[in-house]
């Protein structure tokens, strides 16, 4: 009788352990919290990213003779663009992009 009870208790214990193990195996893992996207501070990479130099600052480094030539070239290009517009007036030609180094 005692042996029978002992066997029953052990069986119940084994069943309980099996249930716990099954429950643990089939439990849904909670979705991991998505980390908020943090803005990454981009560090300047010397020799890789050229520093953004404003046009005005760049022009200040140009010798005045070269600057005057750039201005004259700009005027010629703008006149040519305006003449193209007058030959065939339309908004696209009026606002065509210039290759002038004075403004690019």
Partner 1 sequence: MIDADLLKGLPPAEAESVLALGKRTLLTTGAELFHLGDAADSIYLIARGRLRLTLPMQVRSREEDIMVEERSSGQTVGWSALIPPYRFTLTAVAPLETEVIALSRDALNTYLAAHPGTGYAVSLNLASVIGQRLQLFQAMWLREVQRMVELRCA
Name which of residues 46 to 65 contact partner 1 (CB under 8 A). Answer: 64
CB of 48 to partner 1, least distance (A): 24
CB of 99 to partner 1, least distance (A): 13
Q: Which two tokens stand for residue 5?
A: 């009870």
Q: Which two tokens stand for residue 64?
A: 């005045």
Phi, psi of 80 (to 5 degrees): -65, -40
Alpha-carbon torsion 46, 50, 52, 56, what sign?
positive
The window from 3-11, 19-27, 35-43, 67-75 that contacts partner 1 (CB under 8 A) reads 67-75
The answer to the question of residue 82 lying near partner 1 (CB under 8 A) is: yes
Return the CA Rg of the chain. 39
Q: At 48, is the secondary structure helix, strand, or coil? A: coil
Residues that bind partner 1 (CB under 8 A): 64, 67-68, 71-72, 75, 78-79, 81-83, 85-86, 94-95, 98, 103
């Amino acid at each position: 009788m005692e042996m029978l009870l002992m066997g029953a208790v052990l069986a119940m214990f084994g069943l309980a352990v099996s249930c716990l193990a099954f429950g643990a195996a089939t439990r849904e893992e909670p979705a991991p919290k998505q980390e908020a996207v943090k803005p990454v501070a981009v560090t300047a990479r010397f020799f890789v990213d050229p520093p953004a130099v404003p046009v005005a600052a760049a022009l200040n480094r140009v010798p005045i003779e070269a600057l005057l030539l750039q201005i004259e070239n700009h005027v010629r290009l703008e006149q040519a663009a305006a003449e193209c517009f007058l030959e065939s007036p339309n908004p696209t030609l009026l606002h065509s992009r210039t290759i002038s180094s004075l403004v690019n």
